[in-house]
């Protein structure tokens, strides 16, 4: 008992080496990040509601297409957050403060260069997005307005990925909550002010996003840099040392491919949805917002799994890994079941808040059970992503994502001709379930290899 109490105390004190995983430790990371991430779908709800209140399906559809384009662009760079979290968590477990700072600087430099490149290449990116999504002329005009305002947030948005990855790698959920709340809070207030009250519509929603990202990046950098111990500061030669950059670029490559395939799956769903007409496309966009609510809700526990599994590997302490995996799995599946039940009971009321268009509401009601189920089918996938990111098993994440996508494409080819939009939603749920199961199968072997190598 004394040893356990010592390990628990050390876990909260942030000391390197063995530590004991408790519910309190898990939720010190998961709860703040859940609250922080919930502001993101809340932002999506507000943006959808602002545009939906204008009463035109083409505006809502244009916002949906534009949002998918930015998912394709920005979330493809999610490796900046994921790789940073895993590498920082492992350095944290080793007690290597200098390497923690070095990982931050590497990620931030990559983020800023990538963000500038995104802005420069925006005309090409927009043309590619139109080719992929193939919206009608009216929807394209709305998407164009939204895209060329929001793209200005590129450097700040990607810098925020690096900053968030650093604080999550250290298990500092409260700072993550502060930054997410700041970014999305500013965005929400300005979206209502500019988009609805001042009547700027879609352009106002996009400018609100730009403002929130820029202010969030400046505040996040100030917080992180201000807390660095200058005695542990690495020089530029150490930051960009070849032996350090090579594994980071390998992680970035694998996670980028994995993220791109994930986005391709969602883009394929939206692209197929366009063939069912603008009303069904708008209804699917509303329901995907509900799916994102569940996703960000479960991401808090996935973040706890990232930090704790990465830290346990850095500390070379297998008991913490096993206990973190078991406890976060129980919490994830339990909360996912409750989330599904809540959406089944109250989902139609949420649809009414999001749009006033009667035809969009009617279609959304019909497919609500499928959207509600995504919380349960996606719970294991979210959790396994956290485990594999923290452990930096990026190649397995990439390969299993590709395998799940192939199975997803086959399911859509079989189901959609028979069941239409029902088949589309069934395919999404199968895709989420397969992702989690495929990764779970690999955990015992990969964990055994990782801890043997660490000894």
What is the overall mean pLDDT for the chain?
Answer: 85
Task: Please state whether 172 falls in left (phi above 0), alpha (psi between -120 and 50) or beta.
Answer: beta
Q: Terminus-to-terminus CA distance in the chain, angstroms? A: 25
277 phi and psi angles, rounded to 5 deg: 100, 160
pLDDT in tens, 305-319: 999 999 999 999 999
Confidence band, pLDDT 50/70/90 cuts, at residue 40: low
- At 54 the pLDDT is 66
Rounded to 5°, angle at Cα 44 from 332 and 209 = 120
- Tell me the average pLDDT across 33-47: 69
Task: Name residues whose C-beta falls within 8 Å of residue 106's C-beta, 6 or more positions apart in sequence.
Answer: 239, 240, 244, 245, 248
142 and 63 in contact (C-beta within 8 Å)? yes
* Percent of residues in the chain assigned helix, strand, coil, to nearest 5: 90, 0, 10
Cα gap 371→288, rounded to integer Å: 7
How many Cβ atoms from other residues are within 10 Å of residue 30's Cβ? Answer: 27
Task: Name residues whose C-beta falls within 8 Å of residue 159's C-beta, 6 or more positions apart in sequence.
Answer: 108, 111, 112, 115, 217, 220, 221
- Tell me the average pLDDT across 247-265: 85
19 phi and psi angles, rounded to 5 deg: -150, 160
pLDDT in tens, 381-436: 999 999 999 999 989 999 999 999 999 999 999 999 999 899 999 999 999 999 99
Task: Name residues whose C-beta falls within 8 Å of residue 311's C-beta, 6 or more positions apart in sequence.
Answer: 19, 89, 90, 92, 93, 171, 320, 390
């Amino acid at each position: 008992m004394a040893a356990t109490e010592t390990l628990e105390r050390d876990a909260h004190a942030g000391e390197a080496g063995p530590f004991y995983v408790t519910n309190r430790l898990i939720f010190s990371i998961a709860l703040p990040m859940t609250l922080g991430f919930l502001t993101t779908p809340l932002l999506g709800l507000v943006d959808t509601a602002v545009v939906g209140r204008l009463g035109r399906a083409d505006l809502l559809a244009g916002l949906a297409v534009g949002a998918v384009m930015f998912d394709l662009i920005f979330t493809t760079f999610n490796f900046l957050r994921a790789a940073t979290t895993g590498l920082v968590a492992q350095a944290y477990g080793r007690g290597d403060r200098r390497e923690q700072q070095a990982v931050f600087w590497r990620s931030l430099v990559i983020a800023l260069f990538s963000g500038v490149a995104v802005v420069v290449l925006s005309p090409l990116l927009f043309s590619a997005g139109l080719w992929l999504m193939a919206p009608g002329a009216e929807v394209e005009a709305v998407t164009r307005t939204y895209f060329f305002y929001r793209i200005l947030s590129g450097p700040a948005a990607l810098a925020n990925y690096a900053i968030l990855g650093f604080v999550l790698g250290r298990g500092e959920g409260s700072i993550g909550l502060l930054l997410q709340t700041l970014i999305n809070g500013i965005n929400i207030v300005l979206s209502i002010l500019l988009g609805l009250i001042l009547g700027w519509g879609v352009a106002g929603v996009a400018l609100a996003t730009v403002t929130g990202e820029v202010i969030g990046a400046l505040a996040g950098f100030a917080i992180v840099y201000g807390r660095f111990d200058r005695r542990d500061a690495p020089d530029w030669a150490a930051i960009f040392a070849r032996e350090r950059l090579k594994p980071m670029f390998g992680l970035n490559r694998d996670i980028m491919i994995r993220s791109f395939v994930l986005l391709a799956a969602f883009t394929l769903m939206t692209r197929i949805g366009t063939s069912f007409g603008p009303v069904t496309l708008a209804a699917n966009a509303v329901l995907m917002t509900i799916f994102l609510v569940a996703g960000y809700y479960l991401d808090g526990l996935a973040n706890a799994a990232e930090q704790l599994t990465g830290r346990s590997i850095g500390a070379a302490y297998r008991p913490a890994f096993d206990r973190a995996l078991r406890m976060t799995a129980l919490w994830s599946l339990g909360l996912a079941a409750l989330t599904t039940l809540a959406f089944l009971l109250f989902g139609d009321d949420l649809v009414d808040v999001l749009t006033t268009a009667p035809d969009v509401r009617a279609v959304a009601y019909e497919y609500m059970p499928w959207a509600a189920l995504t919380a349960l089918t996606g719970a294991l996938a979210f959790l396994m992503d956290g485990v594999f990111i923290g452990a930096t098993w990026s190649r397995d994440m990439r390969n299993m994502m590709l395998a799940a996508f192939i199975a997803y494409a086959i399911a859509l080819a079989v189901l959609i001709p028979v069941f239409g939009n029902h088949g589309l939603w069934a395919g999404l749920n199968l895709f989420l379930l397969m992702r989690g199961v495929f990764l779970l199968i690999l955990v015992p072997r990969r964990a055994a290899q990782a801890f043997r190598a660490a000894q």
